[in-house]
Structure 1
Amino acid sequence: MPKRPASSPSTPRKKSKRPPDQPSLDSFFKSPRDTPTPTRKRQTPQLRDAHAPEPPPAASQLSPPEIIDVDLLDDSDIDTRPIIPSSSSISQGPRISDDETPRIFSAGVQPHPPKYPSLSEDPTTFLLDSCFWTPNTPTPYSFLAHTLTTVSETRSRIAIINTLTNALRQILRFHPKSLLPSLYLLSNSLSPPYSPIELGLGPSIISKAIQHVSGLTPAALKRLYNQTGDPGDVAFEAKSSVRTLVPHPPLLTCSVYDALLKIAHAKGQGAVKQKQSIVEKLLVAAKGEEIRFLVRTLSQHIRVGAVRTSILTALARALVLTPPNSDISAPSDSPYRISEHILSQIQALPAGSSKKVVDEAKEKLVATFAAAEGLIKKVFVQHPNYDHIVAALLEAGLDGLTARVPLTVGIPLHPTLGSPMRSLDEVYERIDNQPFVAEFKYDGQRAQIHAFKDKDGKVSTRLFSRHLEDMTDKYPDVTSLVEHMFASSQGLESFIMDAEVVAVDPSDGSLRSFQELSNRPRKEVQVHEIKVSVCVFAFDLMYHNRQASITLQHRRTLLRSDFPPVDLKQPGSARFEHVESCHSEDGKETVEEFWLRAVDSRCEGLMIKLLDHGVVVESSASRDKSRKKPLPATYEPDRRTSAWLKLKKDYVIGLGDTLDLVPVGAWHGNGRKAQWWSPVLLALRDPDTGQLVAMCKCMSGFSDAFYKAMKEVYAEDSENCSRQALWEDVDTGGYSPSVYFRPHEVWEIRGADVTLSPVSIAARGLVSDSRGLSLRFPRFIKTREDKSIEQASSPEFLANIFRDQQGKGKHETAGADDGQLVDVELSQSDDVEDDDSDGGELT
């Protein structure tokens, strides 16, 4: 702990002894556990007004506040001693004891950040006539912080999109080059998901930086964290009393983004010190809300409701209202062009204009917005790279976007998703006798394989997971397999293939479990080190020899003709097979037999896919009506399409689908489970707000080994588990768990049915105005390591299951999950998995 200067040279102070086993911080901020660094003598630059009179001798009896400008010091010259401020410098924040006084960098007054107008108003009436900063200069970071603050203060999707739209319009008008870093910072990322740039900032680096800038002790930081539960709030409060000698230039969005890149690229010896130095300089220059969101960005958790869909929607609307380049003239018939005349009709009612004219203008604007949003989202899901998209938009506008940002080998597209079905009868009812193919749904890891051969004959291969992470290093055997494909095929130039990588027995190719596959190392795997053999089961071909295929029928034909099965029969080599399948033309009995084979195998079930363009029957909001919806047989990135239906054996009896839920809390177990967490509180994720909403308790399906592992991951009073609700992105509704979990993993859950609940608020308003939905007799299936919490099931998904359930004649069980689930004692051995009888009792 750094020493404090004596309050008076004549009055010795007692040294406080540090306890021998001082506990480390068990949440975000951690106490340094290393031995204290010896204090070095140095000369601190004495900076003062040259015309100021010398202080009278009597004043020298007290130690004056030390004045430091960190920008004038080298990293090695930064002093870590806290400074005693004058009484006037203490803000009206949380009270801090005298031995935890904040650092003072200046005796002057810290300039306040600029004031910005409201950004949440209708974009059609938002005025861009005056710039909030000097035109043609980079956007201030304070403007981005103001945007994030506005977004974080509302749950209204309209207000969020309006705020983001107006902010992006302002940036497009006055400094378009700030658009790219702004989009990355708003989306809480620094790069595309397939080439992630890792900040590499542990909590200790951020904690030490806040300590040094504020002068607070680790104990004081821990108290602040326990009060606020958020690193950004801690930094905001800790720096509330800190001032700088000379007003620092305002932080710029571009410079903050560049500083984050420098942090990420700092490697080798001295990297930790270099990262901490950059963080400290950012914190010293930050003012007001900049501090809060800067630290949240450094912690990779900005805690706002601006999800990807909202950002893309706002970007599209901003481009319609404020084209980035006045030199770009959109064609008069462009679907993305809105005339000033139409905007003027909407903005004001000219004398004599009728309501009909204004309504027609609004309809035109809505149609233009929809066209632009559809374009931006379509391009992004097949080419998720803001660098390329922004460059194309600034160069050619919306009309030139598709040509400049096409589907590209080496850049993963978001995968197509299937809609759940409950039975084969329901599948036939939905498809309405249209030709389809049924494929085994393997229990492995979904892989998107990109490969091409350059003019020199060199083959480049990339593998991406379902959430677009590059996992090429994990599967060198698959890379070798792809090279063999190119070597054995004369006409093969490039392809993008959708497949499932499954663990297999190397001797006979029989399927192994997903758990065995998960035992493979994740990075820098060498072929000779491979102990778990795999087979690549291909089921789709999205791109082939520089052409994108259209219908599934055509794609399957190319896949089978140009990619024959491969079995190299070499140690450490991967196999290649097509998914096992059967066609509807073979007859319903054949399809039923095929389904029974899937049930008896290690597969998860079946995928049912339309072979050509057609229509499907969908239930409407009314139970008495249905509608036919046209569906293309094209590959639909990032869409849960009804042209792909999934039938999983784990939930044919019961729900039509499993749910992907996030554990957010738990209660102490009873009896044999007293030392474990049981039951566990599970939550859905609302994609519109980014918030997790608790919906049910689960205490079934867990083995004792899993209970023990869960108690280690969620150790009480650790960074993953707290007695206080520290994570504000979670709404527990009527549930009051004993402890709260940090949301960071997804569990697959199956239940008997969905029921109305007076406790759960999940999906409230979607099927009932007064009650939410919950799951009866939920059972844990497995941890979804291939999914992030952003991919958890949504309230709308749960509501659709409930509607389908009601349409099939199941009775509502209102209040079945009343929140009074009691953990019952079991008489099982320690190694036996809990069965469905361990569902608890309803009191």
Structure 2
Amino acid sequence: MKVSTLSEYLDRLERTQSRNEMSQILAEVIREAEKGEASVLMYLLMGRVRPLFDPVEFGVADKQVMKAMVRASGVTEEALGAQYRVLGDLGLVWFAVAKSAGGEKMEVIFLYESLSQIAAESGGGSQERKLMLIEELLGKLTANEGKYVIRILLGKLRLGFSDKTLIDALSISEVGDKGIADKLEYAYQVRPDIGFLVQKVKEVGWKRACEGVGVALGTPMMVMLAARLKTAGEMVKKMGSVAVEPKFDGTRIQIHFQRRGDWKVKTYTRNLEENTYSFPELTKLGDVVDADSLVLDAEAVGVDTKTGKLVPFQMTMTRKRKHDVAEQAGKVPMVFYVFDVMYKDGVSLIDKSYEERRKILTKAVKKNDWLRVDEYKLVTKAEEITKLHQLQIDKGLEGVIVKKIDSQYVPGRTGWRWVKMKEAEGSTGKLSDTIDAVIMGFYSGKGKRAGFGIGKFLVGVRRGEQIVTLTKIGTGLSDEQFKQLKNALDKLVATKADESYVIDKTLVPDVWVEPKLVVEVAADEITISPTYSAGVSLRFPRLVKFRDDKSVQQATTIDEVKQMI
């Protein structure tokens, strides 16, 4: 496919806000793609050169790209800056000043290789080499093609669709409708690489691509998530015999291990970001496991070196910053509570039952102090669940996770396979569970908060691919947290509401932000509200903690909120 053809498709995608129309357009792209370029096209459509879990970045900012534009166009930096102040988009600036540039019929594969080369440049002098490569590339593109390439380089190719839309498009391209989208989505959740999936379907057809899909070592899979039920009685009624495990207040990690190979250990967050650097303890993993390769599901929890007790979530999350991991590892050592195994010695285990996986896990991990298989108990009665839940609360943990003993490991939150119970069951004055909400924007502060630049922030929950408003929050934060939140939100400021937002005009915030930051919220109760687009709101909402470990796709849905009523 020519880059000119791709840019025409991008034009069509940019002009529509209809998810169905986007799916149809993307289906056309997939049909037209040659087998050898299908994966490349998918990555470019997502504004990347690698799948989401591969941390490859271009490493250029607005100022650097503007310098390359000056060199490629001959327009002065002052003139470009003036245009940028008006348009707010360097892609549009290029379109305005470079209408006679380029004209070569570049192939998509060549564009991909050029972008990959820019991303790969590192070390001394790399920024100048990047500028030269960008200048050269822009000189080979038309104004419209360059517009999209600049947005890709800056991470700003926001066309309003997600990987889920691409899966729908893949289904349409194969069978004419979304009839096989569920099957394709499952294959994607096990191996979340949209380029790999589309390429595989193009090569062997959708049936063979989906058959026998299993865990791949070194590629993170979407983790299994717990649903919500109000009472232990409902859990027994819907799930039958269950296993009850403690729920730790740590950070969820997926651990990939191989005894031989070019890497030994890789870890990933629940939203597929590699964070191996955060856990230097795991370099010793080979000493405490009886396996040549493993994929483990675990919770990493910090330990107070003086008391031996588990520390709060915020202390555990200090490992998120690369520059001081070694220092933090000394201050807050980790214990890894392993509760599932998805792969062992070349065999994917996700189709096996919970009990079978547990037996394999117990044999695979040797007894040691820092990598522990967490305890569980098989029960059949509601009162046993309630008793075990209260026992964990008394220990200072969050509660329990209840798991169906004959359940396979199914990515995402589907059915009543895993259910979480937090807080004291039947408690009054507060919801029995928290809500993971997406920050949509914020309001200027008054009084002391005027100095922070933020007084309250607006949050929403998911409704399909939309984000609907739920509540404003201005309590539960210390002064330091207000400053931390403002710094984080400043990096996400947007000139207008994201296309996924559904919001009443009376709630429009002073500053919009991109939907990227998730926070955990507690409240006293859920109330009916005609103002908030969720149809409900929260009474006395308050921030519990920042959830840097969660993506927007893992935020609470409106259906889950309504189950709490």
Q: Does the pair score TM above 0.5?
A: yes
Q: CA deviation at 1:784?
A: 0.7
Cα displacement string for residues 398-455 of structure 1 (whole angstroms, at most 9, x for unaligned residues): 3432569642222221101111233334434443xx111111111111111222334x
Matches within 5 A, 1:450-599: 450-454=256-260, 460-480=264-284, 482-486=285-289, 489=290, 492-506=291-305, 509-520=308-319, 522-523=321-322, 530-549=330-349, 550-567=352-369, 575-585=370-380, 587-599=381-393
Residue matched to 1:441:
247
1:675 and 2:474 equivalent?
Answer: no
Task: Give yes or no for the alignment of 1:421 onto 2:215.
Answer: no
Q: Secondary structure at the match of 2:438?
A: strand
Match of 1:701 among 469, 472, 476: 476
String of CA shifts for 1:494-550, please: whole Å, max 9, x gaps: 322111111123466421112222223654856996332111111112223333441
Amino acid across the alignment from 2:347: Q
Determine whether 1:243 maps to 2:92.
no
1:553 is paired with a residue of what secondary structure?
helix
Aligned-partner residue type, residue 170 of structure 1: E
Are 2:552 and 1:789 equivalent residues in the alignment? yes
Contact 2:459 2:469 in 1 (8 A): yes
Letter in 1 for 2:471: C
Alignment partner, residue 412 of structure 1: 220
- Equivalent-residue separation in structure 2 for 1:226 and 1:604 (angstroms): 49
User: Larger deviation: 692-701 or 384-393?
Assistant: 384-393
Please point out which of 303, 319, 332 is paired with 2:158: 303
Offset at residue 190 of structure 1 (A): 1.5
1:660 to 436, 441, 450: 436
How far apart in 1 are the matches of 2:443 and 2:263?
Answer: 54
1:18-167 equivalences in 2 (<5 Å): 139-167=1-29
Corresponding residue for residue 336 of structure 1:
none
Closer, same or farther in 2 for the Cα pair 1:600/1:462, shift >3 Å? same
Cα deviation, residue 593, structure 1: 2.5
Work out the CA distance in 2 between the residues paired with 1:472 and 1:513. 21
Task: Write the letter of the residue equivalent to 2:440.
Answer: V
Give the corresponding residue for 2:206. Answer: 398
Whether contact under 8 Å (2:336, 2:372) holds in the other structure is yes
Alpha-carbon distance in 2 for matches of 1:403, 1:736: 47
Distance 1:310 1:736, change over 3 A: closer
1-side partners of 2:74 and 2:533: how far apart? 43
Gaps of 5+ in 2: none
Task: Give 3-state SS (helix, strand or coil) of 2:274's partner.
Answer: coil
Q: Does 1:736 align with 2:479?
A: no
Assess, with a 3 A threshold, how the Cα gap between structure 1 residues 221 and 681 changes in structure 2: closer, same or farther: farther
The answer (yes or no) to whether the contact 1:449–1:463 under 8 Å persists in 2 is yes
Q: Quick one: distance in 2 between partners of 1:650 and 1:280?
A: 61
Aligned to 2:408: 634
The question of whether the paired residues in 2 share the 8 Å contact of 1:473 and 1:522 is answered with no
Q: How far 1:210 sits from its partner (Å)?
A: 3.0
Native 8 Å contact 2:504 2:531 kept in 1: yes
Deviation for aligned residue 1:552: 0.5
1:138-180, Cα deviation, whole Å (9 max, x unpaired)? x111222222222232232221111111221122xxx332212
What amino acid is aligned across from residue 151 of structure 1 in structure 2? L
| Alpha-carbon distance change, 792 to 250 in structure 1, aligned in 2, over 3 angstroms | farther
Aligned to 2:140: 285
The 3-state SS of whatever aligns with 1:447 is strand
SS in 1 for 2:170: helix
The alignment status of 1:710 with 2:565, answered yes or no, reads no
1:656 CA displacement = 5.4
SS state of the match for residue 303, structure 1? Answer: coil
Change (3 A) 1:650 1:712: farther
AA matched with 1:191: R
User: Structure 1 228/727 Cα, relative in aligned 2: closer, same or farther at 3 Å?
Assistant: farther
Q: CA deviation at 1:395?
A: 4.1
User: 1:730 and 1:804, CA in 2 relative to 1: closer, same or farther beyond 3 A?
Assistant: closer
Equivalent residue, structure 2, for 1:233: 92
Distance between the aligned counterparts of 1:429 and 1:592, measured in 2? Answer: 14
> Where does the alignment leave 5 or more consecutive residues of structure 1 unmatched?
1-138, 322-365, 568-574, 613-632, 763-771, 806-843
Distance 1:388 1:577 in 2: 34
Bigger helix share? 2
Distance in 2 (CA, whole Å) between partners of 1:611 and 1:543 is: 18
Q: Secondary structure at the match of 1:285?
A: coil
Letter in 2 for 1:193: L
Q: What's the CA shift string for 1:281-332, capped at 9, x where partnerless?
A: 33333335423322221111211122111112222332446xxxxxxxxxxx
Q: Residues 588 and 248 of structure 1: is their aligned pair in 2 closer, same or farther, counting only changes over 3 Å? A: closer
Structure number with bigger Rg: 1
Find the aligned partners of 1:309 and 1:471 in 2 and give their Cα distance. Answer: 24
Kindly indicate whether the alpha-carbon contact (under 8 Å) linking 1:190 and 1:196 is maintained by their aligned counterparts in 2: no
Bigger mean CA deviation after superposition, 407-416 or 522-531 = 522-531
Amino acid in the other structure paired with 2:339:
F
Contact 2:471 / 2:532 at 8 angstroms: preserved in 1? yes
- The structural deviation recorded for 1:788 is 2.9
* C-alpha contact 2:438 2:516 (8 A) present in aligned 1: yes
Equivalenced residues, count: 558
**Could you tell me how far 1:607 is from its partner in structure 2?**
0.9
The residue number in structure 2 matching 1:605 is 399
Q: Give how far 1:780 is off.
A: 0.8
> What is the alpha-carbon root mean square deviation over aligned residues?
3.1
1:717-756 to structure 2, matched below 5 A, reads 720-721=492-493, 725=496, 730=501, 732-734=503-505, 735-756=507-528
Call closer, same or farther: CA 1:225–1:649 in 2, change over 3 Å: farther
CA distance in structure 2 between the aligned counterparts of 1:164 and 1:306, rounded to whole angstroms = 10
Structure with more relative contact order (C-alpha pairs < 8 Å, separation 6 or more)? 2
Aligned to 2:533: 761
Question: Per the alignment, in what secondary structure is the counterpart of residue 417 of structure 2?
Answer: strand
**C-alpha spacing 1:418/1:168, structure 2 compared with 1 (3 Å):** same
- The question of whether the paired residues in 2 share the 8 Å contact of 1:666 and 1:739 is answered with yes
Aligned partner of 2:130 in structure 1 is 275
